[in-house]
Amino acid sequence: MTEPGSPVARTAERPDVLVARSPERAAGLLALLRGRGLEPVAAPVIERAPVEDPAELDAARSALVRGAYAWVVVTSVNAVDALLGPEVPLTAPVRWAAVGPATQQALAGYGVTVALVPTTATGAGLAAAFPRTRGGDEGGRVLLPLGDLAADTVRAGLAAKGWAVDVVTAYRTVTRELPPELRHRHDVVVVASGSAARQVAAQLGPQRVVAIGEPSARAAGDVGHTVLAVAAEPTDAALADAVTEALVRT
């Protein structure tokens, strides 16, 4: 195992690292990997698209503005961007929960202060850390905006703690085809979601992957990838450490 931040030994041919994200979303990770002597490339295999019928999402926003919810629980940056915007006045008293630091940071960009971030940045970790209902919880209602492919983990966990959970589909996940020059086997592919892991397998076949967390690692294993490492936490720095250590070991 290398020390975090240690550079990968420079060779005549540098390791081929694909980050399965848009260059914009991957910018921080790409910079860290380049600082360690790598020349990674980023390209998305999935992307967020608007829901085809926005009526349900619009109704959820209106209820949020009216103060209908005790909590809003957000499990991805995509859900933050799909739910919020300059046209959504966030004046009603409501508490916010974020699945991890990236989602917390995205909410901060809209001026939202997060009341709960679990130690384990997964849907299961968020449900486990979430409080049970108590008196004065505005009827115990929670708004849970999700992507169309999201698992039921968070909703089920909150419902088990007595909350009435309003699930709304905030965005769709659509496929992006990799360019021809990237359609080959890579030394490492970084995946940040189960959907990305599945789409990498569909387009490239089984790869050697580094996953952002245990849920994405499980999804990667299920579709035949070899999971070399899992980031200690869902941050660019932890992903860079995991990629570096995986390359040194292999």
Give the pLDDT of residue 91: 86
Which of these, 113, 114, 110, 85, lies nearest to 98 by C-alpha position?
A: 114
Sheet of strand 17-19, all strands in order from the earlier edge strand to the far edge: 41-42, 17-19, 188-191, 208-211, 226-230
CB 236 within 8 A of CB 212: no
- Structural domains of the chain, ranges and CATH numbers in brackets: 17-45+179-249 (3.40.50.10090), 49-173 (3.40.50.10090)
Tokens found for residue 64 = 């949020």
pLDDT in tens, 166-178: 999 999 999 999 9
- pLDDT at residue 10, rounded to an integer: 42
Cα 136 from chain centroid? Answer: 32
Q: Kindly indicate the confidence band of residue 12, based on its pLDDT and cuts at 50, 70 and 90.
A: very low
Tens of pLDDT, residue by residue over 221-246, are 999 999 999 999 989 999 999 999 99
The CB density around residue 201, as the number of other CB atoms within 10 Å, is 21
Q: pLDDT tier at 2 (50, 70, 90 boundaries)?
A: very low
DSSP 138-194: GGGEEEEEEETT--SHHHHHHHHTT-EEEEEEEEEEEE-PPPGGG-S--SEEEE-SH
Amino acid 246: pLDDT: 95
Q: Over 90: is that where the pLDDT of 61 sits? A: yes
What is the average pLDDT across 138-153? 90
Instruction: Identify the CA nearest to 147 among candidates 193, 94, 86.
Output: 193
Q: Once rounded to an integer, what is the mean pLDDT over residues 35-47? A: 95
Q: For residue 5, what pLDDT is reported? A: 57
